[in-house]
Structure 1
Amino acid sequence: MTSATAADYGWIRSSTSPFQYALEVGYTLTLVRGVSPAELFRIAGAEPRDPCDGLDELIKEHSELFYGSEDWPESILTGAFTVPGTGGQWTLALEFGGELGMRESFMKALSSGTRAVSHSSNGGKPMDFFHWYEDGVLRTTFEWAADRTGSTPDDLNAVMRELGLDPDGDPDPGTDTKAAVLALAERLTGVRLTADLLANSEYQSAEVPEEPAAEWESVTIDITDAHGERTYAHVRRDQL
């Protein structure tokens, strides 16, 4: 692992930081070892587009696709490029307002035989997630450091303590938790995310389709009114 700290990512809070747009509108950033951008897009079922020369162009293309539709868009623009890290080359995939790195089926397939890490933010809403997959298995995931799940939820505890993310309680008050999560991602991948890297890389781009809504077979209605009377019903889809 590298020795990255939250202080190494203090630049994300600068008013001129290229990461500001991601924090404002929401983002998902995924890192995977040994998988090319083209293969990542294939696994995601994405439709390739022309490359974007730098982050500003990716943001422009994203905005035109996202806000250019009268309805909720059926796909999200994702940009990806290759960068060196621990154990070889890694692909960094970045999208705004999407959740590709939070899709369980995608991340399992993407990390088959390798390692994949993703972190995300829901923009202005206080929802931030971290996922670490190894060979198709979700090893550790959390929104709050003290509320972890996965097959090995405690394997990163020592590193998280070093970064100010207390796995047993509240974060250190002086810790920027988002910066600490970026440092945690670097510890696992060896990929140092910098303002220059984000701003000036050429992004291979593709439209990633929205994940289909899960089919449902039944719904349970369970309501208790102010008088303590309970209404309970289980309704099958074929009854509606």
Structure 2
Amino acid sequence: MTSVTAHDYAWMRSSPFFRYALGTGYTLTLVRGVAPGEVLRVMQAEPQGTCTGVDALIEQQEELFEATDYSYESFIAGVLTVPGAGGDWTLVLHFDGGVAMQPRFLEALSAGGRAVVHSSNGGKPIHLFHWYEDGKLRTSFEWPTAREGSTPDALNSVMREVGFHLSDDEGDTGVRVESKAAVLALAERLTGVRVTEEMLHDAECQLGHVLDEPAEE
């Protein structure tokens, strides 16, 4: 496990990517042991070719927004292979207005492995974090002091190390640093994947069009 903390992600405060992501709503998922094409299949995504860089992914999403009168009933997912703990991981990124990754997808993608996801709904400040292991939701939270899942306290020591303040004293903000930077650091602790501006700029993504609630097979 790396020693990364929220301070290692201070760059996000001036990042055009994160400014767009937090304004529009985004979901970033990291999956171990599942190839990008299989991730898109599990998400029941319609293949949409490839693109280079997050700016191109944003352009694709903006085109979809315009075509659907800015409806959030579907989104374009960008999927790529990234290095992490124990080998390759798959990073899934989409600007979905808060739709996020369906729990049933996360259960399937984490079966026999691990999935870590963080998201924001854009506009209203709802920021979520989920850790799945072997198909089960282990720890989930919006506020770090109100955790859920089968093992809600399993990450407490790591959360403190990356910068979260877990006190629920009256008047406490719940964090001692930028909360989104702490979430990024927590995700890296669990995956070994370092998200950087350069990675996002140069990413070679497979694309898929995902409906909010795809029809069951």
User: Aligned ranges for residues 159-170 of structure 1 at < 5 Å?
Assistant: 159-169=158-168, 170=172
In structure 2, distance between residues paired with 1:167 and 1:153? 12
**Larger strand percent:** 1
Is the 8 Å Cα contact of residues 11 and 17 (structure 1) preserved in structure 2?
Answer: no
DSSP 3-state at the match of 1:67:
helix
- Report the identity percentage: 57
Q: Specify the alignment match of 2:184 in structure 1.
A: 182
Q: Specify the alignment match of 1:105 in structure 2.
A: 104
In structure 2, distance between residues paired with 1:129 and 1:52? 27
User: Aligned ranges for residues 99-178 of structure 1 at < 5 Å?
Assistant: 101-169=100-168, 170-171=172-173, 174-178=176-180
Q: Residue 199 of structure 1: CA displacement? A: 1.3
Is the 8 Å Cα contact of residues 32 and 88 (structure 2) preserved in structure 1?
Answer: yes
Q: Residue 101 of structure 1: CA displacement? A: 4.8
In structure 2, distance between residues paired with 1:31 and 1:100? 17
Where structure 1 has 5 or more consecutive residues not aligned to the other structure, the ranges are 214-240
Where structure 2 has 5 or more consecutive residues not aligned to the other structure, the ranges are none
User: Aligned ranges for residues 80-99 of structure 1 at < 5 Å?
Assistant: 80-97=79-96
Is the 8 Å Cα contact of residues 98 and 121 (structure 2) preserved in structure 1?
Answer: no
Q: Which moved more, 1:130-139 or 1:155-164?
A: 155-164
Q: Specify the alignment match of 1:2 in structure 2.
A: 2
The answer to whether 1:51 aligns with 2:53 is no
In structure 1, distance between residues paired with 2:182 and 2:164? 7
In structure 2, distance between residues paired with 1:125 and 1:146? 19
TM-score (norm 1): 0.83
Q: Residue 165 of structure 1: CA displacement? A: 1.2
In structure 1, distance between residues paired with 2:40 and 2:100? 12
AA partner of residue 33 (structure 2): G
Structure 1 vs Structure 2 CA RMSD: 1.8
Give the length in aligned residue pairs: 212
Q: Which moved more, 1:125-134 or 1:67-76?
A: 67-76
Is the 8 Å Cα contact of residues 45 and 211 (structure 2) preserved in structure 1?
Answer: yes
Q: Specify the alignment match of 2:196 in structure 1.
A: 194
Q: Residue 18 of structure 1: CA displacement? A: 2.4
DSSP 3-state at the match of 2:37:
helix
In structure 2, distance between residues paired with 1:102 and 1:210? 9
